[in-house]
Amino acid sequence: RLAHMPPRMQRVVTSITKHDWFKDYETINGVGDALDNIADRIRFANQFTGAAEDIKRHYNQLDAAFLAFFPELIAHVKEFNTERT
């Protein structure tokens, strides 16, 4: 669907696939690097830099919250897709 995207989004999506960004998100350090990069680009004050340390410190709580949330997300997507067909 690249042709349907605005030019800037086309460049981002092309970079995502070419450089396999999602592979970097397999590790906490990879997610931390991504958040550090976002922090550098955001035009307002933020505290994203160093977020990997927060993730490591609160990993068990974040993991539990995600595991509770994910089945709800799957159910919602299934319901959304059913309504669209």
- End-to-end, the C-alpha distance of the chain in Å comes to 20
pLDDT score for 56: 96
- Cβ atoms 24, 33 nearer than 8 A: yes
pLDDT score for 48: 84
Q: How many helices (H) and strands (E) does the chain have?
A: 5, 0
pLDDT score for 83: 87
30-59 per-position pLDDT tens digit: 999 989 999 999 999 988 899 999 999 999
